[in-house]
Chain A
Amino acid sequence: MLAKRIIPCLDIKNGQTVKGINFEGLREVGDPVEMGAKYAAEGADELVYLDISASLEGRKTFTELVTRISEKIDIPFTVGGGISTYEDGARLLDAGADKISINTAAVNNPGLITELAEKYGSQFVVVAIDARLHDGTQPAGETDNIWHITTHGGKHSTDKELFSWAREAQERGAGEILFTSMNHDGMKSGYPCDTFAELDKFLQIPIIASGGAGNVDHIADVLTRGKADAALAASIFHFGEIRIPDLKEELVKRGITVRI
């Protein structure tokens, strides 16, 4: 039986792993290759590395880092952040990335999904979607069910809506959808499971739940009630709040299939 995946996410700035809250206020938390290898040894099913460097120099460092990661890590890893062209994707594939995650660039230029998927296959293309319920800046309830797509790490709102955009991404050849609720990200209060479950009904491709995990219950919820195929989290792993072996043991106790 296919296992639900647990995916630690490492945000990288200028070659170091950092973790912030709601994309602001960053703390360095360790060396990306060592941290990735440690997570892999502990039972992480995949890794995601997101480059949040703003500079060209940072981008170059990141590409070199991807090469080092691919030499060290023997589980699949996705890289994202700052991929705006086909050439960026090709460069990261050559560096050894198994998948790339595109977000803002896909919203601005949906043809990029098609182009990358046609050349490298759907398995290579993860479309990351950041969405906020309502169009305001304050977190709001889940009642009106309109999720507005945001770009640039949640800073900009667009007129795209979650479900239609996710469907378009799938039709253009995305292999997976990585959905982050901007209302929940960094809050450690759980994922919007009802929305994930609706998204699951709506799509044929796997869905990775991101942003909001504060404890084991949250992750178990999104994998069962939310029907997510994978759960991605950052700070709970980086700060040692939950160890992956303990998390998986708890998930097994709740009848969830995971790789042990």
Chain B
Amino acid sequence: MIAIVDYDTGNLRSVENALKKLGKDYVVTSDPDVIRSASHVLLPGVGEASSAMDKLRERGLDKVIPALTQPVLGICIGIQVLCRSSEENDATCLGVFDSEIRRFREEEPKIKIPEMGWNTIFDLDSPLFKGINEGDFVYYVHSYAPTMPQDGQTKAIAKTTYGSQTFAAALNRGNFYGTQFHPEKSGPVGSRILKNFLDL
């Protein structure tokens, strides 16, 4: 069974619908036992990193999630809480990925913040992107993004450039994966990425 982690961070409906379209059974849960025994764990979410961390802690999931051994995919706020820390309200995060979440810097010519819409991914380097082409478009809504990892264990498996700023569009360390973009809202490209994850 696939577990979608419910930690009260916005709309899970689109992730659920994406799994339904792939013909997958899933459970929406915050129960540690159900999460531990799942075949795959999805950690979605929109909103703000520090309150997302608070909600994980309230449910004891800040201990459960980093200890998981099955494939885990964090999406948007999900990838952010898996990183070391976030500039957003100075949140300390789970530290699975050796990367920091930074707010987009203002630059000239002006970039709009949030980045909202379709941007390309490149330097793809993971089975997560099987069948996906360099330069394919995925959907983003965010003001914060992961920096390139430093420790050699965490890998940037996709990159995106917004204005002149290049960030890690997707990260991987062992069984943990994360995407800053929303595969569940990225049409056929996103659906393929989710399918690839569930095939891991």
Contacts and interface: CB of A to CB of B under 8 A. Distances in A.
Contacts of A56: none
Interface string B175-196: 0000000101111101100000
Given A1-B120, A121-B47, A96 B11 contact: yes
A45 B118 contact: yes
A206 interface: yes
Interface in B154-200: 161-162, 182, 184-188, 190-191
B120 A74 contact: no
A76 B140 CA distance: 10
B68 to A, nearest CB: 26
B17 A71 contact: yes
B112 A206 contact: yes
B67 to A, nearest CB: 29
A124 B115 CA distance: 13
A75 B139 contact: yes
A259 B135 CA distance: 10
A2 B115 contact: yes
Nearest to A67: B13
B119 A3 contact: yes
A204 B21 contact: no
Contacts, number: 89
A123 B119 contact: no
Given A74-B185, A98-B11, A121-B47, A2 B21 contact: no
A132 to B, nearest CB: 26
A162 interface: no
Contacts of A1: 119-120, 161
Give chain A's interface residue range (CB within 8 Å of chain B): 20 to 34
A75 B10 contact: no
A132 B9 CA distance: 38
B60 interface: no
A70 B137 CA distance: 21
A204 B113 contact: yes
Contacts of B140: 2
B48 interface: yes
B114 A123 contact: yes
Contacts of B141: 76, 123, 175
Secondary structure dominating the interface of B? mixed
Of listed A1, A40, A121, residue having the most chain B CB within 10 A = A121
Interface string B1-33: 000000000110110011011000000000000
B117 interface: yes
A95 B139 CA distance: 21
A74 B116 contact: no
Contacts of A5: 117-118
Contacts of A71: 17, 20
A219 B185 CA distance: 24
B112 A229 contact: yes
Contact of A75 (B20, B113, B114, B185): B185
A185 interface: no
Contacts of B185: 74-76, 98
A50 interface: no
B11 A75 contact: no
5 contacts: A1-B161, A5-B117, A40-B187, A74-B186, A120-B10
Interface of A: 1-5, 40, 45-46, 70-71, 74-76, 93-96, 98, 120-124, 175-176, 204-206, 229-230, 259
Q: When A and B form their complex, which 3 residue pairs have the shortest distance between CB atoms, in order from nearest?
A: A259-B137, A96-B13, A123-B141
Given A96-B13, A121-B48, A123-B114, 6 more contacts: A71-B17, A74-B190, A76-B141, A122-B114, A206-B114, A206-B117
